[in-house]
Every structure is written in structure tokens, then in C-alpha cells.
Chain A
């Protein structure tokens, strides 16, 4: 019955009445914030911050598959962090090192 499954979830020792639920759930906020920042110009992106986001995402993605039990919820949130971090880094690197600077306007 769906009602009893909901009750089990609600009363679970790592359920929505506990920090064990909300802390990992809120980690999605970091990836959501990064997605919101996709529309910002790359010169506003911080290299140290995005390297930290990417590295954390990659390290935790790896380790969530080697802990017991494997934690796919933790895995997915960290994969998302690594992916958004890598995208932001690629945007900034592309602007800083790979784009041709616009020709200055001729001053007559």
C-alpha cells in the first residue's frame, strides 16, 4: 500500500524529519546555483570556486561507489556537481585561452 510506504519513509531514521535527509538533499542546491550561473558572463566565474566544486564532485562520486552500502543518491548529486563545475570551467577557459579577441573598433 502506498500509504504505508510513505509512512515508512516519513518515519525512517534517515528520513525527512532528520538532518541525514536534508543535508545531502540540499547539496543539489550547489548544482542548481551553478546552472543558474550558466547565464552569467564567463569573466564572473571564479576558477578556485569551480575547481573546488568539480574536485569535490569527482572525489565524492568515486567514494559513494566504494562505501557500504553504495549510495546512488550521493553519487548522483556529486556527478551533477562535477558536471556543472566542468561546464563552468570550460566556459571560462574557452573565453580566457581559446577565443580570438574581437578586433578593436577603428577609430577614425
Chain B
């Protein structure tokens, strides 16, 4: 157990390197997005959500094409794409339904 932890700690993609903390930081977007799904729809920023949808789509492709292929980065951006698209459709539905009421 201690040997495994030590190997992880000293790994070239371990917690002492950017290859680890970069993708970890990006999971913050996913966690924040999931938390925001429980909030009222008028809290959604269409600017930020739209930007995130394009950003994560581009970085899914980037993670696939970069050498070495970075599946951790691909995974975090695929997850974020799903969450942000969900938020975007919540916002679109909200705006469309509020137009119907007038």
C-alpha cells in the first residue's frame, strides 16, 4: 500500500506535476455545473454556459490529438460538455417558456 502511494506521489503524471493538477482544476467546472443544476434557471449565465460548451468541445478534440493522448483531460471535458449542454437547454427552455407567457 505504502509502495503504491509512493509510486503515485513520485509519478511523472502525479500530484507534483501539472499533468495531474491541471485536469483536477478542470473538474471544478463539472462540480460547479452539477451544483448549479439544482439552482433556479434564472441563475444560469448564457454567456458562460455557451462559452463552456464550445471550450469543452474543443478541448475534447485537443486531449485526443495531443501527444501523448490525454484520456484524463478528455474525460473531464466530455463530462463538462454534458453538464454545460444540460444547463444550456434548461436556459433555452426557460427563455422559450417565458416568451410563451406574454
Size category of the A interface is: 20 to 34
Contact status B31-A48, CB under 8 Å: yes
Majority SS of interface residues in chain A?
helix
Contact status B22-A59, CB under 8 Å: yes
CA distance A40 to B28 in the complex (A): 23
Contact status B21-A63, CB under 8 Å: yes
Residue of B25, B31, B61 near A19 (CB, 8 A) is B61
Closest to A52 in B: B28
Number of A-B contacts defined by CB within 8 Å: 83
A 12-25 binary contact with B (CB < 8 Å = 1; else 0): 00000011101110
List of B residues within 8 angstroms of A37 by Cβ: 45, 47-48
Report B27 CB to chain A, min CB distance, Å.
Answer: 9
CA distance A29 to B33 in the complex (A): 17
List of A residues within 8 angstroms of B35 by Cβ: 46, 48
Majority SS of interface residues in chain B?
helix
List of B residues within 8 angstroms of A26 by Cβ: 54-55, 58
Report A25 CB to chain B, min CB distance, Å.
Answer: 9
Q: Which of B42, B51, B55 has the most CB of A within 10 A?
A: B51
Question: B18 contacts the other chain (Cβ, under 8 Å)?
Answer: yes
Contact status B55-A20, CB under 8 Å: no
Contact status A44-B22, CB under 8 Å: no
List of A residues within 8 angstroms of B66 by Cβ: 20
Report B32 CB to chain A, min CB distance, Å.
Answer: 4
Contact status B29-A52, CB under 8 Å: yes
Report A15 CB to chain B, min CB distance, Å.
Answer: 13
Binding site for B on A (CB under 8 A): 18-20, 22-24, 26-27, 29-30, 32-34, 36-37, 40, 44-46, 48-49, 51-53, 55-56, 59-60, 63, 66-67
The 4 closest A-B pairs by CB, nearest first: A52-B28, A48-B32, A63-B18, A23-B62
